[in-house]
Structure 1
């Protein structure tokens, strides 16, 4: 199994290097590795809670994925509930079907439970 050292990707917080590198990596992953179409590229500044919008062919139709990128490898912090607020509102606002957390560290137990409850209640996939 391939292992990645996400600390090799510049931190967006310290202002050195390419601070957009992790989101660019995410775009390349969904586009080049998974073969999906990117319909909203990462951008700098207020993004309304969406970093990348992906169009995915599903059977005879399409789904749109809202990708939220969080790069906390340098701090080692998990991605918490407070880092992913208003998931359902963000899906509706951006006309997306699926929420994807693209993280360089693990989700906190609180965030994992929140996502699991939303999934069980058929609010997200």
Structure 2
């Protein structure tokens, strides 16, 4: 039995503002556009550590998401979100929802809202 359930865009839309939504993409992709209320927890940073599962769990806990909490996880196409869910499951997370369609699916419907982060770039001197 998996420690996560696969969900669709309708489920995610209903949970905006009610359940933590975690975008595991790199910050540039997140800043370009993400599901409203989503927080960015980088899978690439966790994957570069000696124990990626433990590192990712620590990053989730640093953001107030603990093993008994429910959370939705997504990325660009679903692959990295699944990896994140597998890592978290190995660390005791048992109430995860994998948005398998992820951002590609979300953005395919213009009626779904997308938040963009205001990113400031410093000019090179």
**When the two structures are superposed, what TM-score results if normalisation uses the length of structure 2?**
0.29
With CA pairs under 8 Å and 6+ residues apart, which has the higher RCO, 1 or 2? 2
**When the two structures are superposed, what TM-score results if normalisation uses the length of structure 1?**
0.29
Q: Which has the higher strand share?
A: 1
Q: Which has the higher helix share?
A: 2
